[in-house]
Amino acid sequence: MAACMAPTTAGTPAGAQTAPPGSPTARTANDRRRPVVIAHRGASGHLPEHTLAAIALAHAMGADYLEQDVVLTRDGHPIVLHDIHLDRVTNVRQVFPDRHRSDGRYYAADFTLDQVRRLRVHERVQGDGGQPVFPERFPAQPALFSIPTLVEEIQMIQSLNRTTGREAGIYVEIKNPAWHRQQGHDLTAIILATLDKFGYTRRQDLCYVQCFDAQELRRVRSELHSDLKLILLIGQDDRDAPPERRSWSSEGLRQVATYADGVGPDLQLLVESAEGPAVRPSPLVAEAQRLGLEVHPYTFRADALPNFANSYDELLQIYLGELGVDGLFTDFPDRTVRYLQSLAAPAR
C-alpha cells in the first residue's frame, strides 16, 4: 500500500506547517495558503454520510481532505460512523430488533463487525418518527449503502489518489474516547495503529487527527508520541463554559498551541454578533493564528445557513474572505471548491 504522499498540485494543504508542538510561531502574511476544503462525512450534502459513495464523490469534487468519524465495534474494529449509535443512519431496528440498550438506542459497541456488515445505511433521520434531518437531500429510502471500516475507507481514498493522480488527505475524528474506554476499548491507540499501517505518521503527511477531548489530544502527543497534525474541536457550549475551561479564550488557545496544530470551532464561535448584515468577528481567528494554530470551523451547509448569511457564497465570503480561516468542514465540497476557484480565476 502506498504511503501517504507529500502535497501535490491539487491545492496546497495547510498541513505543511512546520512549527513543532509546544513552540508556536508567529504567522506572517506569506504563510497564508489556499484554505483547505474538508469534506464533512464525505460529500454528505449529496449522498448519505460516511458511505464509500460519499467519499468517492467528495474526492471527485476536489476536496483536499475527506473526513472520517471513527467508533469501535464490539470486537474492536474501527468503523466510520458519526454516532456511537447505529439507529439514525441504518436499518438496525429491523435487523436486530431486540439489541437496544435500556435507553432504546442501538450502540455500535454492542455489535460485531460481521453484524455491522449486515446493516444498510440510509440518509440520516431524526429519532422522533424517522423524518429526514435534511428533507431535500438524498432520499432516506432506499437504503443502498453499508458502513465502511476505517481500513476500507483509507484503501478507497489511497486507491482514488492513485487512479486520479490527485492526493486527497484524510481527517480522522476520535469519537468519544472516554466513553470507549468505559466500554473497555482504547479507541485512540487503535486508530493511530491503523493510520501508521497506511503510512500516516508524520506532520507533513496528508492527515489530521481531530477530537473534542483536549485531554485525549494531549495524550496523543505526549503519551502515544504521535507526530500527526492535531486539531482540537470546540463546540458551541464552550462559549458558556467557565473562563478557565474555555478553549477559545486567549489562555485556552495558548494551552492548545502547546500540543495541537489547530482548532476546529463551531462556525458560530467565530462571530461575536450573529445578527446580519454586518458581522462582528470574535477574536478567535486572530488569536489562534497569532499562536500558529490553523482554524478549521464547522459545518458549512448550503441548506442550513446561519441567519447572518443570505446565500452559501456569502457565508463563504464571510469566513474565507473577512475572517480568513485556514480551511472549513463542508457538506458541499463542490460548491466550496467552485467558490475558491472563482477567486483564483484571472479577471477578464
Q: Where does 61-186 have alpha helices with state H?
A: 92-95, 113-116, 150-164, 177-182
Contacts of 194 (CB under 8 A, 6+ apart): 78, 150, 151, 154
The residue behind cell 498540485 is: 9
Q: CA-to-CA distance for 107 and 83, rounded, in angstroms?
A: 9
Q: Which is nearer to Ca ion, 69 or 238 (CB)?
A: 69
- 147 burial (CB, 10 Å; 0-12 / 13-18 / 19+) is buried
CB of 69 to Ca ion, least distance (A): 4
Which position among 40, 85, 180, 185 bears the catalytic label?
A: 40
Q: Which is nearer to Ca ion, 173 or 261 (CB)?
A: 173
CB of 173 to Ca ion, least distance (A): 4
Q: How many of the chain's residues bind Ca ion (CB under 5 A)?
A: 2
> Hey, which residues between 152 and 181 contact Ca ion (CB under 5 A)?
173
Q: Which is nearer to Ca ion, 69 or 334 (CB)?
A: 69
CB of 328 to Ca ion, least distance (A): 13
Q: Which is nearer to Ca ion, 76 or 235 (CB)?
A: 235
CB of 298 to Ca ion, least distance (A): 7
> Hey, which residues between 42 and 81 contact Ca ion (CB under 5 A)?
69
Q: Which is nearer to Ca ion, 64 or 69 (CB)?
A: 69
CB of 231 to Ca ion, least distance (A): 10
Cα–Cα distances in angstroms (integers) from residue 163 to residues 8, 89, 129, 153, 156, in the given order: 15, 30, 42, 15, 11
Helix, strand or coil, per DSSP, at residue 37: strand
Which position among 50, 77, 82, 185 bears the catalytic label?
A: 82
What is the separation, in whole angstroms, between the first and last Cα of the chain? 44
Long-range contacts made by residues 91-95, C-beta under 8 angstroms, separation at least 24?
Answer: 91/119, 91/120, 91/122, 91/143, 92/119, 95/119
Give the nearest residue (CB) to Ca ion: 173
β-strand 65-72 against 78-80: which pairing, if any?
A: antiparallel
Active-site residue, 40 included: yes
Q: CA-to-CA distance for 61 and 338, rounded, in angstroms?
A: 9
238 binding Ca ion? (CB under 5 A): no
Q: CA-to-CA distance for 17 and 30, rounded, in angstroms?
A: 12
Query: What angle is formed at CA 271 by the lines to CA 269 and CA 276, rounded to 5 degrees?
Result: 135
Q: Which is nearer to Ca ion, 173 or 334 (CB)?
A: 173
Q: Which is nearer to Ca ion, 24 or 262 (CB)?
A: 262
Query: What angle is formed at CA 18 by the lines to CA 14 and CA 19, rounded to 5 degrees?
Result: 115
> Hey, which residues between 171 and 230 contact Ca ion (CB under 5 A)?
173
Enter the DSSP assignment of 4.
P
CB of 268 to Ca ion, least distance (A): 16
CB of 6 to Ca ion, least distance (A): 25
Positions that interact with Ca ion (CB under 5 A): 69, 173
Q: Which residues are catalytic?
A: 40, 82
